[in-house]
Amino acid sequence: MLLSPTHRASFSIGNEASARRVVDVLTEVFFDGDAAVAAFERPDGEWDVTLHFAEAPDQELLRELVATSAGNDIAATLAFDTIEAKDWVKASLEDLVPVPAGRFVVHGSHDRERVAQNKLAIEIEAALAFGTGHHGTTRGCLLLLDHVLKHARPKRVLDLGTGTGVLGIAAAKALHRAVLASDIDPPSVRVAAENAALNEAGHYVRVIRATGFAAPDFAKSGPFDLVLANILANPLRQLAGPMTRHLAPGARVILSGLLTHQAPAVIAAYRARGLVPLRHLRIEGWSSLLLRKMG
């Protein structure tokens, strides 16, 4: 069967939160089959958002949608072109090869049979690039989680800002224990719960919508022996106090989502509250930290 040329629209935006917002709007407007929407982070921290259409899109409408969700300046940079015929959804999956991180391997459904039997497989689809395991912060967190589990068996685990749920799923599959996962974003809560069920960890991972540590679920499920928080540098600094109050003595904390030059400020915020840094991984310009609460 001959495929028609694919119509593409693309633009760049400054940070993950903005990329999430505009992608949420676009995916609500363009139903399955109308467009394939993808967002990927570049090494410089910018996010590339791309839409592929089988038919030529309404350019004016698309600019209005981007302007509404990302602002006029971003909408003005929206570029349109026509590229070779290709199944872009399938291609995007094929480009995302399995990612090893210690005992864990993050993969898409197309690579399910390629994962070694002695690895803990976490299947995450790549409709969006948030938390697929291909980002340096997610891989850093998984490597630090693998390190922690060689020395400890945490009983109360929290995945704060869970996204796709990959970190909570990894902890649940390794420990066979309950994990509380939270996110401020309703679509992320839904996706994380779906991914937990897909990975046969739905009976371990409980996903809630919450901002910070405001929900009563945190006090009920804590104090936590292990917290995984792959968010951003500023929220991590702001959460240092509330997080510390929900930690058990000797608890391990894995933090990521921060550029390497932001790590000292984050470390200082947690050190001031009695947490000492144990390990610092640097992957693709991003830092992942392992800290421990004294006492």
| Residue after which a domain boundary falls, among 92, 117, 138 | 92
CA distance 120 to 226: 19
Could you tell me which of 10, 23, 15, 14 has the C-alpha nearest to residue 185?
23
Q: Is residue 176 located within the same domain as residue 259?
A: yes
| Residue after which a domain boundary falls, among 92, 119, 144 | 92
Q: What is the pLDDT of residues 88-139, one digit of tens each?
A: 444 544 445 677 888 898 887 666 767 767 888 888 864 443 444 446 788 8
Q: How many residues does the chain have?
A: 295
- Residue 19 has a pLDDT of 84
- Is residue 203 situated within a structural domain? yes
Q: Is residue 194 located within the same domain as residue 72?
A: no
Of the candidate ranges 106-120, 136-150, 230-244, the one whose mean pLDDT is the lowest: 106-120
Answer for the pair 119, 125: CB distance below 8 angstroms, yes or no: no
Which two three-digit tokens encode residue 127? 């409709």
Regarding predicted confidence, which is higher, 55 or 32? 55
Q: Is residue 143 located within the same domain as residue 88?
A: no
- Is residue 270 situated within a structural domain? yes
Q: Is residue 154 located within the same domain as residue 284?
A: yes
Regarding beta strands 47-53 and 36-41, do their DSSP bridges make them parallel or antiparallel, or are they unpaired? antiparallel
| Per-residue pLDDT at 179 exceeds 80 | yes
- Domains held by the chain: number: 2
- Is residue 112 situated within a structural domain? no
Which residues are 126's β-sheet partners?
none
Mean per-residue pLDDT, 147-171: 94
CA distance 127 to 191: 11
| Per-residue pLDDT at 46 exceeds 80 | yes
- Residue 33 has a pLDDT of 53
Count other Cβ atoms within 10 Å, centred on residue 249.
Answer: 11
Please provide the average confidence, as pLDDT, over all residues in the chain: 84
Q: Is residue 69 located within the same domain as residue 168?
A: no
Q: Is residue 224 located within the same domain as residue 289?
A: yes
- Is residue 208 situated within a structural domain? yes
Percent of the chain with pLDDT over 90: 47
| Per-residue pLDDT at 270 exceeds 60 | yes
Regarding beta strands 286-293 and 275-283, do their DSSP bridges make them parallel or antiparallel, or are they unpaired? antiparallel
- Residue 43 has a pLDDT of 67
Q: Is residue 66 located within the same domain as residue 165?
A: no
CATH number where 21 lies = 3.30.70.260
Q: Burial letters for 272-294: b for 16+ Cβ neighbours within 10 Å, e otherwise?
A: eeebebeebbebeebbbbbbbbe
Q: What is the pLDDT of residues 53-101, one digit of tens each?
A: 878 888 998 998 888 888 899 999 999 988 765 544 445 444 456 778 8
Domain of 84? 6-92
- Specify the pTM: 0.70
- Is residue 109 situated within a structural domain? no
- Is residue 110 situated within a structural domain? no
Percent of the chain with pLDDT over 70: 85
- Residue 128 has a pLDDT of 45
- Is residue 139 situated within a structural domain? yes
- Is residue 78 situated within a structural domain? yes
- Please give the sequence-ordered ranges of beta strands (E in DSSP) within 58-197, or none if there are none: 79-83, 99-101, 104-107, 120-123, 157-160, 179-183
- Residue 119 has a pLDDT of 84
Regarding predicted confidence, which is higher, 258 or 197? 197
Of the candidate ranges 22-31, 89-98, 198-207, 286-295, the one whose mean pLDDT is the lowest: 89-98
